[in-house]
Amino acid sequence: MTPAVVAEQVSKTYRTYTRPWDRIAERLGAGPRHRAHHALRAVSFELPRGEAIGVVGENGAGKSTLLKILSGITPPTAGRVHVAGTVAAILELGSGFHPDFTGRQNIALNAAMLGLSRAAVARAMPEIIDFSELGAFIDQPVGHYSTGMAMRLAFSIAVQVDPDVLIVDEALSVGDGYFQKKCMDRLRRFLDAGGTLLFCSHAMYYVSAFCRRALWLRNGAMAGLGPTSEVVPAYEAFLESKRAHTCKDAGEQNGGTAARESAAAAPVRIEAIAAEHAGTRDALVPGAQIEVATGESLAIEVRWRCEQSARPIHVAIGINRSSDGLEVCAFGSHQQGSPPILAGPHNRIVLELPALTLVKGSFDLYIFLLDEAGLHIYDQRVLAEVLRVRQGPYTFGVVTMPHRWQV
């Protein structure tokens, strides 16, 4: 299949100056006064039509520079890029907007820059305004918009003009959870319709959900390129190793998931979590800890409240080792092909583990309430060191497995 995006040995070098005068002196022939900053170094990849690739890496790794080059905003210093068809990009919030123009005027300007005729812009305008849900603000200057409102407008233009290639650079990290879910649903429909997506995000959960392949940039160079299932764990392991060296007692793990909505704003909220084991039932709250033996049954109960009846919900539960954040196991109601739960005002679900296979240690419990696609996070809870497994005879490893010896 003909690639939609091709990058061959793409490099980008910027000149940095200590003082403004150094730039002038250099141009007047006073010799080099700059330092070279290599934002990208020989980056190469191909993206077939109809596929998505995730671009991951730390801040300053060169992700935004690469996407700017691919979107035509800045040229490469060396190398070649080719992007087939129309391209729509959502980069820094407000980029491409004139702050003194109204939202409506900026829609016309951006759509025209994407190649739409005046008639096509007129046809697309109502759908863009409707998707953005900006209401009367659509006729206010964009310079008066909040960051969330600017993101709404940028995303609405980009997806409603039906581009061949869509480039998204971490723009969806702002804005309320309701519109984030709306954007994620629209991205899924874009891909299902055969669109090509370059998706840059620090949310590894979204990268894994949308993209079959991932590109990992580190200090401007390629640190990994391949299936998402291989690149993302390697990148997360790198982050975890770096975090362990810099802050051994850091209490916050890198889950790569989107931040949950605030309890006041979320339409779905966790009300209570409890555990049943050895004939007892304990509420699981921050600071609590239950003790379970290997092989015992364990049931985890989650109760949640839903502001709107019949909202489809999936539930996911993860168990991480407390000492180093190792992801031991995870369970998702959507991963077994089960239909979403049509939630009422008050809801309850129980995860049953007939025989616990953990052998020793303390573990954190992660609880997620997800949308019908198992993608958007409505609410989550992290209960640190809530589960302690009693150790019998010393056993190597983290878990045991059903087994037998045969001689």
Q: What is the mean pLDDT of the chain?
A: 85
**Whose CA is closest to 166, among 50, 73, 46?**
50
* Confidence at 315, pLDDT banded by 50, 70, 90: very high
- Do 6 and 46 contact (CB within 8 A), yes or no? yes
- Of 235-239, 308-312, 330-334, which one has max mean pLDDT? 330-334
* Confidence at 19, pLDDT banded by 50, 70, 90: confident
Tens digit of each residue's pLDDT (9 = 90 or more) over 43-68: 999 999 999 999 999 988 999 899 99
* Confidence at 218, pLDDT banded by 50, 70, 90: very high
Coil, strand or helix at 109: helix
**Domains along the chain with CATH numbers:** 3-244 (3.40.50.300), 268-390 (2.70.50.60)
User: In the prediction, which pLDDT does 95 show?
Assistant: 63
Which neighbouring-strand residues pair with 81? 7
Report DSSP letters for 189-256, one per residue: HHHHTT-EEEEE-S-HHHHHHH-SEEEEEETTEEEEEEEHHHHHHHHHHHHHHHHHHH-TT-------
What percentage of residues in the chain have a pLDDT greater than 70? 91
- pTM, 2 dp: 0.72
**Does the pLDDT of residue 253 top 60, yes or no?**
no
Rounded CA-CA distance 224/214 in Å is 8
Rounded CA-CA distance 355/234 in Å is 31
Which residue did the predictor score with more confidence, 248 or 345?
Answer: 345
User: In the prediction, which pLDDT does 265 show?
Assistant: 53
What percentage of residues in the chain have a pLDDT greater than 90? 41
Q: C-alpha dihedral over 89, 94, 98, 99, to 10 degrees?
A: 170
Average pLDDT, stretch 100-110? 90
DSSP structure class, residue 111:
H
User: In the prediction, which pLDDT does 156 show?
Assistant: 87
Tokens of 200: 């840059």
